[in-house]
Amino acid sequence: MLPIKKIISVSFLIALFAVNFVGASDGQRITAVFEAVKPFIVSVEADVSANIADKPTRDFFKKTGLIINNDGYILTSYLSSEITTNIKVYVGPQGDEYPAKLIGSSKVARITILKIDSKLVPFGISKDIKFAKAPLKTGQSILTIGSLGKEYQFEKAVNSGMVAAILPFGLSNQIMSVPNINIDGSVLLDMSGEIAGIVAPAYWFSLSLTDIKKDKLRDELGMMRAEKQCLEIESLTEIISGIIEKQDDCEVSWAGIEFDNLSRTQSDGMGIPFKGILITKTYKDSPAQKGGLMPKDVIIEINGRNIPAEGKGARLFSDLIRSNKPGGTMNFKIIRNKEEKTFQIEPVKYPELKQSRSSWLGITFQEVNDALYNSMNLFTDKGLLVADVEQGTPASYAKLERYDVITHVQLVEVSALGQLQDILNNLKDRKTKYIILQLYRGNKTITRIIKPELGAKKP
CATH at 263: 2.30.42.10
Average pLDDT for 84-105: 93
The reply to whether the predicted model has a pTM over 0.75 is: yes
Whole-number pLDDT of residue 16: 42
207 and 109 assigned to the same domain: yes
Banded model confidence at residue 218, pLDDT cuts 50, 70, 90: confident
45 and 136 assigned to the same domain: yes
pLDDT at residue 413 tops 80: yes
Q: Is residue 434 in some structural domain?
A: yes
In the chain, the number of structural domains is: 3
What CATH number corresponds to the domain at position 227? Answer: 2.40.10.120
Whole-number pLDDT of residue 222: 87
- Output DSSP code: residue 131: B
Q: Which residue, 414, 412, 409, 418, is CA-closest to 449? A: 409
Beta-strand runs (E) in 53-153: 55-67, 73-77, 84-91, 96-99, 101-106, 111-115, 141-147
Whole-number pLDDT of residue 10: 35
Average pLDDT for 310-332: 90
| 8 Å CB contact between 19 and 136 | no
Banded model confidence at residue 139, pLDDT cuts 50, 70, 90: very high
Mind listing the pLDDT tens digit for each residue in 425-454? Answer: 999 999 999 999 999 998 899 999 999 988
End residue of a domain, out of 334, 349, 364? 349
Q: Is residue 11 in some structural domain?
A: no
How much of the chain exceeds pLDDT 70, in percent?
A: 90
End residue of a domain, out of 190, 222, 246? 246
pLDDT at residue 3 tops 50: no
Banded model confidence at residue 179, pLDDT cuts 50, 70, 90: low
283 and 423 assigned to the same domain: no
Average pLDDT for 398-416: 93
Q: Is residue 225 in some structural domain?
A: yes
Q: Is residue 372 in some structural domain?
A: yes
Q: Phi first, then psi: give them for residue 239, nearest 5 degrees.
A: -65, -45
As a whole number of angstroms, the distance between CA 155 and CA 149 comes to: 7
Q: Is residue 10 in some structural domain?
A: no
201 and 82 assigned to the same domain: yes
End residue of a domain, out of 246, 279, 298? 246
- Higher-scoring residue by pLDDT: 391, 206: 391
71 and 178 assigned to the same domain: yes
Average pLDDT for 143-148: 91
Banded model confidence at residue 374, pLDDT cuts 50, 70, 90: confident
pLDDT at residue 322 tops 70: yes
As a whole number of angstroms, the distance between CA 195 and CA 186 comes to: 11
Whole-number pLDDT of residue 1: 34
165 and 286 assigned to the same domain: no
Whole-number pLDDT of residue 2: 34
CB within 8 A of 450, min separation 6: which ones?
Answer: 361, 394, 395, 397, 398, 400, 434, 435, 437
- Higher-scoring residue by pLDDT: 459, 382: 382
As a whole number of angstroms, the distance between CA 75 and CA 12 comes to: 12
Banded model confidence at residue 54, pLDDT cuts 50, 70, 90: low
Q: Is residue 241 in some structural domain?
A: yes
Q: Is residue 176 in some structural domain?
A: yes
Whole-number pLDDT of residue 210: 66
> Is residue 236 within a helix (H) or strand (E), and if so which, with residue range?
helix 236-246
As a whole number of angstroms, the distance between CA 129 and CA 193 comes to: 9
Whole-number pLDDT of residue 354: 79
Length of the chain: 459
- Output DSSP code: residue 379: S
| 8 Å CB contact between 160 and 189 | no
Q: How far is CA 99 from CA 85, 87, 209, 221, in A?
A: 10, 6, 35, 22
Q: Which residue, 72, 68, 66, is CA-closest to 199? A: 66
Q: Which of 58-72, 131-145, 221-235, 366-380 has the lowest mean pLDDT?
A: 366-380
As a whole number of angstroms, the distance between CA 371 and CA 369 comes to: 6
Banded model confidence at residue 53, pLDDT cuts 50, 70, 90: low
123 and 195 assigned to the same domain: yes
Banded model confidence at residue 128, pLDDT cuts 50, 70, 90: low
- Burial label, 133 (beta-carbon count in 10 A; 0-12, 13-18, 19+): middle
For the chain, the straight-line distance linking the first and the last C-alpha, in angstroms and rounded, comes to 51
| 8 Å CB contact between 62 and 73 | no
State the chain's mean pLDDT as an integer. 86
What value does the CA radius of gyration of the chain take, rounded to a whole number of Å?
A: 26
265 and 226 assigned to the same domain: no
As a whole number of angstroms, the distance between CA 376 and CA 158 comes to: 50
As a whole number of angstroms, the distance between CA 122 and CA 275 comes to: 50
| 8 Å CB contact between 2 and 234 | yes
221 and 274 assigned to the same domain: no
Whole-number pLDDT of residue 138: 93
How much of the chain exceeds pLDDT 90, in percent?
A: 47
259 and 386 assigned to the same domain: no
From the centroid of its chain, how far is CA 215?
14
pLDDT at residue 421 tops 50: yes
Cis peptide before 351 (omega within 30 of 0): no
Q: Which of 20-24, 186-190, 387-391, 402-406 has the lowest mean pLDDT?
A: 20-24
Q: 219: domain range?
A: 16-246
